[in-house]
């Protein structure tokens, strides 16, 4: 699969997230719980997400993934239980879009890492996946996932 890459210079972004450490096979259940809980909380506040749902991966240990699931929001909101209002820091990110099932994103990660190396960027920190559509709502569509790495020179 061919990937196109974008270098993004993004401002800080407030987000509502739930964080957990779990095996990769528990991700769908965790995402359903986290996204549903955050949407319910936003509804309580009379707020709406400011972007598509995302996952933030702090490691790639498939037996103990340290992951956050959440939504971008327009401004800082109060925490509630496991739901925390945090901020994705401002900075440079390299981005690409993967077309295909969620469990087939590894080539996109490899391609992003290679692009960063070739272009003298150091990918570091959290890997973000933004889920641009929902194939579970319409099985005839192909999943689109934007993957972003923070980078420095």
Distance from C-alpha of 139 to C-alpha of 123, rounded to nearest angstrom: 33
Q: Where is pLDDT greater, at 46 or 103?
A: 46
Q: Mean pLDDT throughout 88-115?
A: 94
Q: Where is pLDDT greater, at 22 or 140?
A: 22
* pLDDT, mean over the chain: 95
Domains and CATH numbers, the chain: 6-152 (3.20.80.10)
Neighbours of 74 (CB within 10 A): 12
Instruction: Express each pLDDT in 76-91 by its tens digit.
Output: 999 999 999 999 999 9
Distance from C-alpha of 86 to C-alpha of 142, rounded to nearest angstrom: 30
Distance from C-alpha of 28 to C-alpha of 33, rounded to nearest angstrom: 9
3-class SS shares of the chain: helix, strand, coil, % to 5: 25, 40, 35
Q: Mean pLDDT throughout 124-148?
A: 92
Please tell me the pTM assigned to this model: 0.94
pLDDT score recorded for residue 153: 77
């Amino acid at each position: 699969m061919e990937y196109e890459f974008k270098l993004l210079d993004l401002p800080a972004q407030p987000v509502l997230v739930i964080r957990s450490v779990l095996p990769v096979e528990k991700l769908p259940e965790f995402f359903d719980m986290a996204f549903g809980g955050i949407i319910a909380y936003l509804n309580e506040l009379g707020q709406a997400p400011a972007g598509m749902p995302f996952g933030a991966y702090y490691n790639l240990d498939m037996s103990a993934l340290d992951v956050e699931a959440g939504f971008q929001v327009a401004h800082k909101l109060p925490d509630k239980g496991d739901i925390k209002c945090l901020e994705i820091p401002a900075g440079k990110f390299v981005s690409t879009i993967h077309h295909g099932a969620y469990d087939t994103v590894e080539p996109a990660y490899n391609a992003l890492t290679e692009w960063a190396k070739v272009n003298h960027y150091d990918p570091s920190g959290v890997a973000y996946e933004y889920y641009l559509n929902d194939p579970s709502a319409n099985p005839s569509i192909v999943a689109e996932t934007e993957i972003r790495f923070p980078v420095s020179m």
